[in-house]
Amino acid sequence: MDQALELPVQARAFIAETLLESLDAGKNFRLSPEWKMEIRKRCREIDKGIVELVPSEKVFEDAFRKIG
């Protein structure tokens, strides 16, 4: 894990994408090329600080407040 965390951002993103992909639907499940492009675009936006990340706690808190 420590070695993986020392890899360049692009390598870590690729590994993360591959691991996430492996959790979905089954062995033959593959992300479409469009989704892969979208994931890469979003990763670049995060890396460049273009988008603001929101902690999951806040997202869930806001969501539960809206439905409850």
Residue pLDDT tens, the chain, 68 long? 899 889 888 888 888 888 887 776 666 767 789 999 998 999 899 889 999 889 889 989 999 999 98
Token pair, residue 64, equals 């539960």
Q: What is the pLDDT of residue 25?
A: 61
Q: What is the pLDDT of residue 24?
A: 66
DSSP run (H or E) holding 52: none
Distance separating alpha carbons of residues 38 and 36, to the nearest angstrom: 5
Q: What is the pLDDT of residue 34?
A: 95
